[in-house]
Structure 1
Amino acid sequence: MCTLISKYNVAGPRYTSYPTVPYWDTYHFSLKAWRGTLQDSFRESNTNEGISVYIHLPFCESMCTFCGCNKRITKNHDVEVPYIKSVIKEFSMYRELFNEKPIIKQLHLGGGTPTFFSPEHLDRLLSGIFSIGRKAENCELSFEGHPNNTTKQHLATLASHNFTRVCYGVQDYNEGVQKAINRVQPFEKVYSATFQARKEGYTSVGHDIIYGLPFQTQDDVINTITKTIELLPDRIAFYSYAHVPWMKGNGQRGFKEQDLPSPKQKRKQYEIGKRMLTKAGYVEIGMDHFALKTDPLYEAQQKGTIHRNFMGYNASKTQVMIGLGVSAISDSWYSFAQNVKNIEEYQKLVDDGILPVFRGHILTGEDLIVRKHILNLMCDFETSWEDPSLYFPELPDVLIKLKELSNDGLLEIHSKKIKVTRKGRPFVRNICLPFDMRLQRKKPETQLFSMTV
């Protein structure tokens, strides 16, 4: 395994979309084209499938140095109401594009820190959103919670809107590691937040854990996983820390490269964590994710209905995803659109009645085919071209590039499909790379992505 890590530890996308953002063709993108593909996709899917809504709430009271999200550090809570007004107005602008009221099948509050907002203001936000779109009968509503500031009132308010899922950012329980990443939260806080969520009726509580953090050791990972298993969250995201200080400003410059575990040490952290989780009854779902067999994500895996988009892994798919708020990305399946990243610019555009989109990409026919293959690999660890519509001219070249990974036992190549082996699952990003036509045709001159292993 160590030899494979050295061989395949290269920079590569995490494939929450295809094409990946650095390879969007922004020159041929326009708001008119975006609106058109969105309206077409909505007509195709809303009645039977509904839409997903992602709301980006960017404010945090302090900077976590491992984080790559778009955020604004402030202790001024006067920013809450003006921002909420803008988000609700933005969604009303999208409603005007549709021929009927959108059915909201999924909604996720991300950040930033969603629980920076008071329970009263979150109630105002959600009441406004659900007055514009109606909830599906079995809607999936979730939010990202900070264990230090998610209160009983937050949980109760969101539960009153039918929220059933919360994901807490845990990262690591070692105090030295927590100080390095500026995210100090004792086990007791996580225990309390997890217990309170279940008491309020949340049926899926998730924990995010990160390996490869500065000063983190194998013993730290063992300790964190042991404590996590005590609480038995329904889902666990066990992420690799992505060290990309050139992209994320000064936040990741508070420690040096030599403070990080080596790739070999990092992989050992993952392998031992995975063994512990599997022994405790968790099942590996897609890349970096684990779930108990009682969780809907496991059930979706068994049914083959898992979907991956900018909100991560989901138990079901919608063709349309509307991203609201600063920097949020929307997906019509046929195109992507990203909002401006500056809060003041975002609010000004919305106040002026202009969709706050600053860039996007209209998918070509080839993009749509490749997107499907990469989605299959990331969700199901296999893909097929038995359906002639999923064949594309460069596929034979892709299979040639995959031959070496096959020789290393990372995947099986059949006449009309490929299947990732258990040994190959940690390398699924590498297996997707040959399919990435845009990256293959134009290799980046500088490092754009985190390392794959």
Structure 2
Amino acid sequence: MNKELIQKYNIPGPRYTSYPTVPFWDEEGIDLEDWKRTTVKAFKESNDLEGISLYIHLPFCENLCTFCACHKRITKRHSVEQPYIETLLKEWDLYCDLLVDRPKIREIHLGGGTPTFFSSENLKKLIDGIFKRADKFDDFEFSYEAHPNHTSEDQLKTLFDLGSRRNSFGIQDYDPVVQKAINRVQSFEQIERIHNLSKEVGYTSISHDLVFGLPFQNEQSIRNTIKNTIALKPDRIAYYSYAHVPWIKGVGQRGFDDNDLPKDKEKRHLYELGKQLFFDAGYVEIGMDHFALPSDSLYKAMESKKLHRNFMGYTAGKTELMIGLGMSSISDSWYAFAQNEKSVEAYTEKVNQGIIPIFRGHLLSKNDLIIRKHILNLMCNLETEWNLDLDEDTKAGILDRLSEIFEDGLIELSENKLIVKEAGRMFVRNICMAFDLRLINNKPETRIFSMTI
């Protein structure tokens, strides 16, 4: 681990779940008719060939986790469930009416918030309602995020019977001091119970989410967290860098301050330590911040160069059209992005008026589409080819911005290809930033991204 390079490249930067990234979407946004047009275009091009994806945002949580930067609503009133499910299905009807032909769904992911905040009955109502107007694609995948303290055996069985074979548990850390600081107190015994229940029910891909860089983490706490994780042997592990963004409105990152967080090389050491422990246990590194067993579909997708990255993170397959349902959800028609209203009330009001509830978006230019392909290639395959229609001036500018990264030994450059070296893997966000024309041409005056390392 080169400490000087970590210090040099640890700067604010995007995580590239999209290009352009949300802060650099066009200020004028996207016209609803343009969003509808690109959605229909992507649907016609891809529904029969690859199906579509659905991301469904279920925003409610009973408690606030103070590390979380997601759009959520904290409440213990479960009476909110049914009205929200009904609104989601109304929104889905708006899209089905637009698309006319029956969608073939390749992937559904329930995110949040806490999807398992919802009762089994309401989760069944949601998924059954979706498939009243859609069919399953051949290699259909259904996954969901789950809170170990708020997931029952009945929910596991209900979602399995509805077609889910993959779930993801938010673990974060096992250390009691860290758990208290982030307000996410959950015992190993509880996580072990729900993990083993998932296996008994029949889930074939179980993922654990861990976070490094949290307040009060140290080498010993990380060793213990990973020891417990490996003891359960999940099929996938997401080992995310904590994004400390307390300046973003609505983010509840409190209960600790900057002095409680591991800094720069100390934080990166926690990642490198975790990575080695995962390697020792037979896991393979996938893209950025992800690990999988060789038997898992995420590893197989990486091997066959079919790995994809979108607002759901890394997925084992690409669909041109991803529709986001629910408040704050982001949709992707490949040619455009659109985000739904960010409050439950505004979202519900628009849907009840019969309006697809977007409030901002971005129509990709020809240049955006080219740069997007390069950044996707780098984030998924750690390489990209130069023959993707870049004009000579743009290519020259990118190479100029990459020159220092090249001199530092982090990438290989040839006439036709850029390859990220193993030493450059931790700097892949920085490498993508050299391609990010929107970022370069509109340098933010205030800090809007988390640190890259």
Amino acid aligned to 1:93: L
Per-residue deviation, residues 4-43 of structure 1 (Å, max 9, x unmatched): 1100000000000000000001415200001001111110
Distance in 1 (alpha carbons) for counterparts of 2:85 and 2:27:
29
Pairwise CA distance, 1:397 = 1.1
CA RMSD of aligned residues (A): 1.0
SS at match of 1:424: helix
Partner of 1:270: 271
Pairwise CA distance, 1:436 = 0.2
Amino acid aligned to 2:404: E
Partner of 1:211: 212
Q: Is the 8 A contact 1:321 1:330 kept in 2?
A: yes
Partner of 1:447: 447
Q: How does 1:126-141 map to 2 (within 5 A)?
A: 126-141=127-142
Per-residue deviation, residues 220-269 of structure 1 (Å, max 9, x unmatched): 11110111000000000001101010015361132111011111110110
Pairwise CA distance, 1:136 = 1.2
Q: Is the 8 A contact 2:405 2:411 kept in 1?
A: yes
Q: Is the 8 A contact 1:366 1:392 kept in 2?
A: no
Q: How does 1:102-181 map to 2 (within 5 A)?
A: 102-181=103-182
Partner of 2:434: 434
Q: Does the alignment pair 1:402 with 2:402?
A: yes
Per-residue deviation, residues 121-160 of structure 1 (Å, max 9, x unmatched): 1000110011121111220100001011111101100011
Per-residue deviation, residues 274-321 of structure 1 (Å, max 9, x unmatched): 000011100000000000000000000110000000000000000000
SS at match of 1:423: helix
Q: Is the 8 A contact 1:412 1:420 kept in 2?
A: yes
Distance in 2 (alpha carbons) for counterparts of 1:442 and 1:123:
45
Distance in 1 (alpha carbons) for counterparts of 2:118 and 2:81:
6
Amino acid aligned to 1:230: A
Partner of 2:241: 240
Partner of 2:283: 282
Pairwise CA distance, 1:345 = 1.2
Alpha carbons of structure 1 residues 391 and 379: separation in structure 2 relative to 1, 3 Å:
farther
Q: Is the 8 A contact 2:96 2:102 kept in 1?
A: yes
Query: Structure 1 length as normaliser, TM-score?
Result: 0.98
SS at match of 1:412: strand
Amino acid aligned to 1:229: I
Distance in 2 (alpha carbons) for counterparts of 1:174 and 1:248:
28
Q: Is the 8 A contact 1:385 1:391 kept in 2?
A: no
Q: Is the 8 A contact 1:24 1:361 kept in 2?
A: yes
Partner of 2:425: 425
Alpha carbons of structure 1 residues 391 and 199: separation in structure 2 relative to 1, 3 Å:
farther
Distance in 1 (alpha carbons) for counterparts of 2:372 and 2:66:
32
Partner of 2:229: 228
Distance in 1 (alpha carbons) for counterparts of 2:271 and 2:324:
32
Amino acid aligned to 2:405: L
Q: Is the 8 A contact 1:50 1:104 kept in 2?
A: yes
Q: Does the alignment pair 1:365 with 2:377?
A: no
Amino acid aligned to 1:175: P
Distance in 1 (alpha carbons) for counterparts of 2:216 and 2:75:
28
Distance in 2 (alpha carbons) for counterparts of 1:202 and 1:123:
17
Identity of aligned residues (%): 55
Per-residue deviation, residues 388-444 of structure 1 (Å, max 9, x unmatched): x35563111101111111111111111121000011111100000010001001110
SS at match of 1:53: strand
Alpha carbons of structure 1 residues 15 and 372: separation in structure 2 relative to 1, 3 Å:
same
Distance in 2 (alpha carbons) for counterparts of 1:315 and 1:234:
14
Q: Is the 8 A contact 1:369 1:391 kept in 2?
A: no
Distance in 2 (alpha carbons) for counterparts of 1:353 and 1:256:
44
Distance in 1 (alpha carbons) for counterparts of 2:339 and 2:99:
19
Q: Is the 8 A contact 1:212 1:260 kept in 2?
A: yes
Partner of 1:416: 416
SS at match of 2:90: helix
Q: Is the 8 A contact 2:386 2:418 kept in 1?
A: no
Distance in 1 (alpha carbons) for counterparts of 2:376 and 2:394:
18
Distance in 1 (alpha carbons) for counterparts of 2:38 and 2:249:
31
Distance in 1 (alpha carbons) for counterparts of 2:117 and 2:393:
50
Partner of 1:330: 331
Mark the runs of 5 or more structure 2 residues left unpaired by the alignment.
none
Amino acid aligned to 1:185: Q
Q: Is the 8 A contact 2:68 2:251 kept in 1?
A: no
SS at match of 1:239: strand
How many pairs align? 452
Partner of 1:34: 35
Distance in 1 (alpha carbons) for counterparts of 2:390 and 2:151:
45
